Structure 1
């Protein structure tokens, strides 16, 4: 990807209002820290940014508090592996600060696939796109690459086609919606971009191995929405 496109991708991510300030800070710190071993001589601005992130983590969930404490300890007792330790803690913090559906683990891929700037732009695009708009064409356009190059990159990252990979993301969003008993399957199917209740059920079973109704029962979701769904079937 030309350097001008790299810069545009990074600028688009920084300006994405759908990513929290803390999530953007985590992504920037990942870029600046790297994961290799070596002498740890950070700039003052880097340490200030870590302090900002740690303060945020310490006000969050128990998992975030634990990550913040580990990060603070790593910065207080540095050694040759400090970069790698901080890189791992930042990876965990990416999911903690911005939700698992931001695909924080995608950032940790190495080898053939998306460039770092493309990974960051992908996270921003997924965060800002309604589920029904998660299409290979939309992602290719957001990254400024062809559909063919996108297919090669996603295959290198995940071993799947862009269509299959994005379907998993849509199903993940659907699973989150299924925990709300007031939403019918038809409501969820429409919001997540499926053409019908039946289309949604087939796709959900293909990805998860069970139907949405069975998944709801397994999760113990109250039955009011399920009864309305049954009356529409």
Structure 2
């Protein structure tokens, strides 16, 4: 589905991503983990076209998307959320999600159909009671739900989630994990998450990529990663449980 080969990106003398290669298969739930500054968000920005690599290629279903513009990559089927929630604060929840649908299909699409899709997503993500609330008046949890609903309105085949669970309490994290599993299993959407909450990563993902100073230092299942000495020394520390 997604093939990243030899991806490199520098900012001056800082090599943010260094010869990174990995493959993601359909319907996987993948995590990219590592300390702050490891290159995780830069990798997302390269995949989604917000940045262009110095070297390397990105293929999506066999098509080279390395030099495509962000909107072209979006319409090819790659959506994302951001580490810092990005939203239109003066839009209602319904208007915000509808914008995502329009962005995917364009203004010539059937408006009634797009509205129905927006309503379905609002209900699916538990936002029905907030439908007419301005986004600026929502809690951070609900803002993240709106951003996720808006990303899903793009009808992605692959969804990139950048620290979606940051700031959530344990109960909210568990709820988010179950929601993402449902999106993956029922809707067939492949997920790549950047996440620091290791309990969530271990419960959600079946494929983990570990980055450190821009390089991939390990890749494998949660069990393999939780017992990898290089990963423990670089990032996890002792005593991380596999769940």
Tell me the TM-score normalized by structure 1.
0.32
Q: Which structure carries more strand by proportion?
A: 2
Higher relative contact order (CA 8 A, sep 6+): 2
Tell me the TM-score normalized by structure 2.
0.31
